[in-house]
Amino acid sequence: MTRVSVNRTLSRLYWLLAVVLLLLLASKFADDVPGLPPFVVSAASNVYEFMRDMSLLIATGGVAYISNVFQKRSNFIDSLEEEWRNIVRTKSVLLSTCEKPYLATDDYLAAYYRISETIDTMRIVYRNTGETDGLIGLYPYAPLHDMRRALQTLDPRVTPEASNEKKALVRDAILQAFAALRETFLEELDLEEPQHPLLIPGSRRLKTPGAAVSALVVAENQRRRLEREPSPRPDIDEFLTTLRTEEEASKPATESVPVR
């Protein structure tokens, strides 16, 4: 369920809720309006009583409907994310195919079948644009077909010895198609900017090795408790201690304490 479909459904629901509330308000105060015929006042009173008696059922149905809408949206987002991961993996396969110095038929067919599967699995996320009962419509993301067409020019059965220039052209065409696809495909995911981005190249870690005093105290207490208990395998303890000592000795002074 796309974002547009969700917003459209919620808008209709909000309008329906507003109409119901106005109807209840009018029914509640109908007998206070002078000049209304008695049958109108009676009908309004009956409507109010009916809506009041059915309010719990109506509220339950509304909550269930909204839950169903958001569940469909969640399932759609999951399918969309999985399809995007599939597209990224396919792009990587196609690029690696372009980098092979000698492209075998099996390698080409594996890449071709991969892009074909990616094109077809789009059907579980979107239908064709403009598709009707009598018309096929247009494939929603044409750059995937551009990637397929570019790959087909490297078919070893047609072009046994593709030049490096041809492979580079195919690679650039695939990258261009992927960039165009990424601009529009990810819009549906409602992505936001990170709250703590790292935007400068050549960054490095600013934290220094070490830990808070409380953690060091806990570690020391655990070590003392362990030393008081007899070891069932002293040889293992000696082995691990030697490995740890050698590892710490081989590190620079600034990395003497393991960090993660």
* Length of the chain measured in residues: 260
> Which is more confidently placed, 199 or 34?
199
Mean pLDDT, range 7-15, rounded to an integer: 89
pLDDT(256) > 80: no
> Which is more confidently placed, 253 or 221?
221
Predicted model pTM: 0.74
CA–CA gap between residue 131 and residue 141 (Å, rounded): 14
pLDDT digits (tens, 9 = 90+) for 96-108: 999 999 999 999 9
Contact 172, 179 (CB under 8 A): no
Least confident window among 39-43, 57-61, 79-83, 128-132: 39-43
Place of tokens 């809506």: 51
Mean pLDDT, range 121-137, rounded to an integer: 93
Least confident window among 45-49, 76-80, 240-244, 254-258: 254-258
Contact 184, 126 (CB under 8 A): no
Q: What is the pLDDT of residue 33?
A: 77
Q: What is the pLDDT of residue 255?
A: 53
**Structural tokens at position 68:** 């169903």
Q: 86 falls in which pLDDT band (50, 70, 90)?
A: very high
pLDDT(260) > 70: no
Q: 151 falls in which pLDDT band (50, 70, 90)?
A: very high
> Which is more confidently placed, 257 or 173?
173
Q: Mean pLDDT, the chain, as a whole number? A: 89
pLDDT(259) > 50: no
Mean pLDDT, range 143-164, rounded to an integer: 94
Number of H helices, E strands in the chain: 8, 0
Mean pLDDT, range 4-18, rounded to an integer: 88
